[in-house]
Structure 1
Amino acid sequence: MSRPPRTAAITLAPDWVCEVLSPSTRVLDQAVKLPVFAREGVRHVWLVDPEARTLEVLRLEGKRYTLLVAHSGPAHVRAEPFEALELELPFLWGEEQGGGTR
Protein backbone atom coordinates (compact mmCIF):
# COMPACT_ATOMS: atom_id res chain seq x y z
CA MET A 1 0.00 0.00 0.00
CA SER A 2 1.78 3.13 -1.20
CA ARG A 3 -0.53 5.60 0.53
CA PRO A 4 -3.40 5.35 3.00
CA PRO A 5 -6.80 4.72 1.44
CA ARG A 6 -9.51 7.35 1.63
CA THR A 7 -12.10 4.90 2.91
CA ALA A 8 -13.47 4.11 6.36
CA ALA A 9 -11.96 0.60 6.39
CA ILE A 10 -8.93 -1.20 5.02
CA THR A 11 -9.59 -4.46 3.20
CA LEU A 12 -5.95 -5.55 2.93
CA ALA A 13 -4.90 -8.14 5.53
CA PRO A 14 -1.76 -7.35 7.54
CA ASP A 15 1.35 -9.51 7.18
CA TRP A 16 1.74 -9.78 10.97
CA VAL A 17 -0.54 -9.71 14.00
CA CYS A 18 0.44 -9.69 17.66
CA GLU A 19 -2.20 -10.83 20.16
CA VAL A 20 -1.65 -10.18 23.86
CA LEU A 21 -3.37 -13.01 25.70
CA SER A 22 -5.26 -12.61 28.94
CA PRO A 23 -7.36 -15.09 30.90
CA SER A 24 -10.54 -13.39 29.67
CA THR A 25 -9.58 -13.38 25.95
CA ARG A 26 -7.38 -16.48 25.53
CA VAL A 27 -10.11 -18.68 24.02
CA LEU A 28 -11.29 -15.91 21.71
CA ASP A 29 -7.75 -15.14 20.53
CA GLN A 30 -6.72 -18.74 19.93
CA ALA A 31 -9.93 -20.54 18.93
CA VAL A 32 -11.83 -17.79 17.14
CA LYS A 33 -9.36 -15.21 15.83
CA LEU A 34 -6.59 -17.53 14.60
CA PRO A 35 -8.82 -19.28 12.03
CA VAL A 36 -10.04 -15.88 10.81
CA PHE A 37 -6.45 -14.63 10.48
CA ALA A 38 -5.55 -17.80 8.54
CA ARG A 39 -8.57 -17.45 6.25
CA GLU A 40 -7.60 -13.85 5.50
CA GLY A 41 -3.96 -14.74 4.81
CA VAL A 42 -2.17 -13.16 7.79
CA ARG A 43 1.24 -14.82 7.39
CA HIS A 44 2.67 -14.31 10.88
CA VAL A 45 1.07 -14.26 14.33
CA TRP A 46 2.69 -13.70 17.68
CA LEU A 47 0.85 -14.79 20.83
CA VAL A 48 2.23 -12.92 23.84
CA ASP A 49 1.22 -14.17 27.28
CA PRO A 50 2.45 -11.71 29.92
CA GLU A 51 1.31 -13.92 32.82
CA ALA A 52 3.13 -17.04 31.56
CA ARG A 53 5.92 -14.84 30.16
CA THR A 54 5.84 -16.54 26.76
CA LEU A 55 6.03 -15.47 23.14
CA GLU A 56 4.76 -18.00 20.59
CA VAL A 57 5.76 -17.32 16.99
CA LEU A 58 3.41 -18.79 14.38
CA ARG A 59 3.67 -18.90 10.57
CA LEU A 60 0.83 -19.59 8.16
CA GLU A 61 1.54 -22.72 6.14
CA GLY A 62 -1.27 -23.62 3.80
CA LYS A 63 -4.49 -22.99 5.71
CA ARG A 64 -3.09 -23.50 9.23
CA TYR A 65 -0.54 -21.98 11.54
CA THR A 66 2.63 -23.81 12.51
CA LEU A 67 4.34 -23.01 15.79
CA LEU A 68 7.88 -22.03 14.83
CA VAL A 69 9.19 -21.39 18.33
CA ALA A 70 8.04 -20.57 21.85
CA HIS A 71 10.27 -18.19 23.78
CA SER A 72 9.98 -17.62 27.52
CA GLY A 73 11.45 -15.87 30.50
CA PRO A 74 14.20 -13.25 30.29
CA ALA A 75 15.45 -14.21 26.81
CA HIS A 76 16.57 -11.79 24.13
CA VAL A 77 15.19 -13.19 20.85
CA ARG A 78 14.88 -12.66 17.13
CA ALA A 79 11.41 -13.63 15.96
CA GLU A 80 10.02 -14.03 12.46
CA PRO A 81 9.17 -11.85 10.56
CA PHE A 82 11.38 -9.31 12.35
CA GLU A 83 14.58 -11.34 12.69
CA ALA A 84 16.71 -8.25 12.03
CA LEU A 85 15.68 -6.82 15.42
CA GLU A 86 16.44 -8.25 18.83
CA LEU A 87 13.43 -8.25 21.14
CA GLU A 88 14.07 -8.11 24.88
CA LEU A 89 11.35 -10.23 26.46
CA PRO A 90 11.87 -8.77 29.96
CA PHE A 91 10.66 -5.46 28.53
CA LEU A 92 7.37 -7.14 27.54
CA TRP A 93 6.98 -8.57 31.03
CA GLY A 94 7.54 -5.16 32.63
CA GLU A 95 10.81 -6.23 34.23
CA GLU A 96 13.62 -3.75 34.77
CA GLN A 97 16.81 -4.32 32.82
CA GLY A 98 20.26 -4.10 34.34
CA GLY A 99 22.16 -1.00 33.24
CA GLY A 100 24.93 -0.92 30.69
CA THR A 101 25.20 -1.90 27.07
CA ARG A 102 25.64 -5.23 25.42
Structure 2
Amino acid sequence: MPDTPNQQIRTAVTQRITAHVIYGWPHLGEPVVRHRGQFCYVGAVLPGDREPTPILRLRYQGSADRWAIAIYLASQDRYTESELPASFGPMTATPEQGIDHTFILYAGPSQR
Protein backbone atom coordinates (compact mmCIF):
# COMPACT_ATOMS: atom_id res chain seq x y z
CA MET A 1 0.00 0.00 0.00
CA PRO A 2 1.44 3.42 -0.96
CA ASP A 3 2.08 5.77 1.95
CA THR A 4 0.87 8.82 0.08
CA PRO A 5 -1.66 9.37 -2.69
CA ASN A 6 -0.26 10.16 -6.12
CA GLN A 7 -1.07 13.41 -7.93
CA GLN A 8 -3.92 11.84 -9.88
CA ILE A 9 -5.64 10.71 -6.66
CA ARG A 10 -5.04 14.07 -4.96
CA THR A 11 -6.57 15.92 -7.91
CA ALA A 12 -9.57 13.58 -8.14
CA VAL A 13 -10.22 13.71 -4.39
CA THR A 14 -10.01 17.51 -4.37
CA GLN A 15 -12.57 17.65 -7.18
CA ARG A 16 -14.86 15.19 -5.39
CA ILE A 17 -14.66 17.13 -2.12
CA THR A 18 -15.29 20.46 -3.84
CA ALA A 19 -18.31 19.14 -5.73
CA HIS A 20 -19.76 17.48 -2.62
CA VAL A 21 -19.45 20.60 -0.46
CA ILE A 22 -20.85 22.91 -3.15
CA TYR A 23 -23.78 20.53 -3.64
CA GLY A 24 -24.54 19.89 0.03
CA TRP A 25 -23.50 23.18 1.65
CA PRO A 26 -23.77 25.79 -1.12
CA HIS A 27 -23.91 28.65 1.39
CA LEU A 28 -20.27 27.90 2.29
CA GLY A 29 -18.94 28.28 -1.24
CA GLU A 30 -15.90 26.38 -2.42
CA PRO A 31 -13.99 24.54 0.31
CA VAL A 32 -10.29 25.00 0.95
CA VAL A 33 -8.56 21.68 0.20
CA ARG A 34 -4.85 21.04 0.56
CA HIS A 35 -2.72 17.93 0.59
CA ARG A 36 0.41 17.21 2.54
CA GLY A 37 1.96 13.77 2.55
CA GLN A 38 -0.66 11.18 3.45
CA PHE A 39 -3.13 13.85 4.61
CA CYS A 40 -5.87 15.87 2.92
CA TYR A 41 -7.03 18.92 4.91
CA VAL A 42 -10.45 20.47 4.30
CA GLY A 43 -11.70 23.82 5.55
CA ALA A 44 -14.53 26.22 4.72
CA VAL A 45 -15.54 29.79 5.33
CA LEU A 46 -18.38 29.44 7.82
CA PRO A 47 -21.21 32.00 7.98
CA GLY A 48 -20.04 35.09 9.84
CA ASP A 49 -16.35 34.29 9.34
CA ARG A 50 -13.89 35.88 6.94
CA GLU A 51 -11.20 33.22 7.06
CA PRO A 52 -11.54 29.49 6.39
CA THR A 53 -12.10 27.28 9.41
CA PRO A 54 -10.35 23.90 9.49
CA ILE A 55 -12.99 21.17 9.59
CA LEU A 56 -11.48 17.79 8.86
CA ARG A 57 -8.40 15.88 7.90
CA LEU A 58 -8.44 12.73 5.81
CA ARG A 59 -5.56 10.23 6.15
CA TYR A 60 -4.89 8.14 3.05
CA GLN A 61 -5.51 4.40 3.43
CA GLY A 62 -4.23 3.19 0.06
CA SER A 63 -7.30 3.97 -2.06
CA ALA A 64 -9.07 7.08 -3.32
CA ASP A 65 -12.19 5.72 -1.58
CA ARG A 66 -10.62 4.84 1.76
CA TRP A 67 -9.52 7.57 4.18
CA ALA A 68 -9.37 7.79 7.97
CA ILE A 69 -11.53 10.69 9.17
CA ALA A 70 -10.30 13.19 11.76
CA ILE A 71 -12.28 16.19 12.94
CA TYR A 72 -10.65 19.49 13.86
CA LEU A 73 -11.03 20.44 17.52
CA ALA A 74 -10.81 24.22 17.68
CA SER A 75 -10.65 24.15 21.49
CA GLN A 76 -7.41 22.15 21.31
CA ASP A 77 -6.15 23.38 17.92
CA ARG A 78 -5.64 19.84 16.63
CA TYR A 79 -7.19 17.07 14.54
CA THR A 80 -8.36 13.86 16.13
CA GLU A 81 -9.57 10.59 14.65
CA SER A 82 -11.15 9.51 17.93
CA GLU A 83 -13.60 12.34 18.70
CA LEU A 84 -16.33 11.72 16.12
CA PRO A 85 -19.47 10.28 17.69
CA ALA A 86 -19.82 6.55 16.98
CA SER A 87 -23.31 7.20 15.62
CA PHE A 88 -21.77 9.06 12.67
CA GLY A 89 -20.52 5.84 11.12
CA PRO A 90 -17.14 4.37 10.33
CA MET A 91 -13.94 6.23 11.06
CA THR A 92 -12.61 5.10 7.66
CA ALA A 93 -14.71 6.13 4.68
CA THR A 94 -14.87 7.91 1.35
CA PRO A 95 -14.01 11.62 1.21
CA GLU A 96 -17.72 12.39 0.73
CA GLN A 97 -18.66 10.44 3.86
CA GLY A 98 -15.94 12.29 5.76
CA ILE A 99 -17.49 15.58 4.63
CA ASP A 100 -20.98 14.43 5.66
CA HIS A 101 -19.79 13.26 9.09
CA THR A 102 -17.93 16.46 9.97
CA PHE A 103 -19.51 19.38 8.11
CA ILE A 104 -22.81 18.72 9.86
CA LEU A 105 -21.11 19.50 13.18
CA TYR A 106 -19.69 22.81 11.94
CA ALA A 107 -22.20 24.01 9.33
CA GLY A 108 -25.43 22.16 10.08
CA PRO A 109 -27.23 19.58 7.97
CA SER A 110 -26.70 19.34 4.24
CA GLN A 111 -29.00 21.58 2.19
CA ARG A 112 -29.58 19.04 -0.57
TM-score (norm: length of structure 1): 0.31
Higher helix proportion (structure 1 or 2): 2
Higher relative contact order (CA 8 A, sep 6+): 2
Larger Rg: 1
TM-score (norm: length of structure 2): 0.29
